[in-house]
Structure 1
Amino acid sequence: MANMLENQLLTAAQMIERQLDQQLDQLDNLDSDDLKSIREQRLKEMKDLNRKKQEWLKNGHGTYTELADEKEFFEVSKKSPNIVCHFYRDSTERCRIVDMHLKILASKHVEAKFCKVNAEKSPFLTQRLRIKVIPTIALVKDSKTKDFIVGFTDLGNCDDFSTEMLEWRIAQSGAIDYKGDLMTPPDVKKKAYINRVNKTIRSGYDSDDSDIDFDD
């Protein structure tokens, strides 16, 4: 068994070495025209990205804002294909927690429009998106609603989740560019997380009890 494992590791190492050799050979064989083409392509990409950023900022990206009404939401949807929209209610404390994190993420991810809507003042939109629990974050990608973050269930079932945890969860929809590992939540410390969940189960406490159900 030990010999078999050793042979497998050796084979894998040799394969990686061959791939690296091929990449080095390709780099060694680049002439001045190839390098010029690479530089021009990179310059074009940088110019395109800068143009997009200017357009995003012009459309109100980079800041976390409240939309006045449902009409403004649909206007924003026409200009910004990537939207992170928080449906809130003034009387719900957890909405203020969401506000705090989204203000930070809005300045970091200018590729998406971060905004919020008062659910009580937007009954048509709230009903159309089937939003029943407050807070709910609607995640829009390419003008289509891809996902919803309902309450704090996906954020560790706690109020003290990190901004990075919410960022990771939003990134699952593709509404923002994310450089981290989409497979692993940043707040995961398995032992602490499991203990928290077990404590919740033992106490019979439902973390969403304080949320608002519009069916009531």
Structure 2
Amino acid sequence: MENPKVQEIIEKQVLTVAKAVEDKLDEEIAALERLDVDDLEALRERRIQQMKKMAEKRSRWISLGHGEYSEIPSEKDFFSVVKASDRVVCHFYRENWPCKVMDKHLSILAKQHIETRFVKIHAEKSPFLAERLKIVVLPTLALIKNAKVDDYVVGFDELGGTDEFSTEDLEDRLAKAQVISFEGESSLNPSKSSTQTRRSVRQSESHDSSDSD
């Protein structure tokens, strides 16, 4: 017997939401109608400047090697790579199947997320870095922001615990760490600091290259 009342409440709620949406649209339309030629020209100029800035960013990223998945030849080169780019995903690998699986997904993401540099380095040929960054399990991704290792993806545990995870699974994990974004600008809320201890690679740079070999 209460059904008619429930139906009436639902209808009122729907009408209230619809009215709020309609009012919001009316406000936006009215605001657009109030714009004069100068306002429209200012909006157009602002948009052009935004597009120019993004084009400049993309050009700079490409010049630094963004857009492709490449190998860092030596430990010494690692420091110049992480200093040059604001965001870097570095895969510490060895020649095994799990690392090849990770390579496949990172190759795809490197093309899709030009705002981030995607690289890999052979862990066994990089003993200083592996020890400094406490790399034990392979594959391990070091997620680097502003020349600091901010987070890690160790093995496949966070990706379903199997090598059959999707590129989207890895993309989601990297987005949560805010080491990749969309349209070149982050649309995510700032995440809490990683529970991993941040280790500054700047401090490591002071070591002589002889320590790396």
Q: So what's the TM-score if we normalise by structure 2?
A: 0.78
Distance 1:42 1:5 in 2: 42
CA separation of 1:78 and 1:181: change in aligned 2, threshold 3 A = closer
Q: After TM superposition, which residue ranges in structure 1, 4 or more long, deviate above 3 angstroms?
A: 3-6, 179-183
Aligned residue identity for 1:62: G
Over residues 59-78 of structure 1, what are the superposed CA-to-partner deviations in whole Å (9 max), with x where a residue is unaligned? 11111111112211111111
For 2:74, the equivalent position in structure 1 comes to 69
**Corresponding residue for residue 78 of structure 1:** 83
Identity %: 46
Q: Which residue of 2 aligns with 1:20?
A: 25
C-alpha displacement of 1:130? 2.0
Aligned to 1:88: 93
Cross-structure match for 1:10: 15
Name the residue aligned to 1:50: 55
Unpaired runs of at least 5, structure 2: 190-213
CA distance in 2, matches of 1:173, 1:166: 11
Output the CA distance in 2 between the equivalents of 1:13 and 1:144: 48
Query: Equivalent residue for 1:131?
Result: 135
CA distance in 1, matches of 2:169, 2:188: 11
Q: Distance in 2 between matches of 1:103 and 1:85?
A: 12
One-letter amino acid matched to 1:141: K
Query: For 1:152, which of 135, 138, 156 is the aligned residue?
Result: 156
User: 1:9: Cα distance to partner?
Assistant: 2.9
Structure 1 residue 4, shift from structure 2 partner: 3.4
Give the RMSD, CA atoms, in angstroms. 2.1
2:131 partner amino acid: Q
Aligned-partner residue type, residue 57 of structure 1: I
SS of 1:132's partner is: coil
Displacement after TM superposition at 1:11 (Å): 2.1
1:133 match: secondary structure: coil
Task: Single out whichever of 152-161 and 28-37 deviates more from structure 2.
Answer: 152-161
Gap runs ≥5 in structure 1:
184-216
Residue 13 of structure 1: how far off its partner (Å): 2.2
The number of aligned residues is 182
Residue 181 of structure 1 and its aligned partner are, at CA, apart by 9.3
Give the SS at the match of 2:121.
strand
Cα distance in 1 between the residues matched to 2:173 and 2:11: 39
Aligned to 1:99: 103
- Aligned partner of residue 126 in structure 1, secondary structure: helix
Q: Distance in 2 between matches of 1:166 and 1:181?
A: 17
Residue 145 (structure 1) shift: 2.2
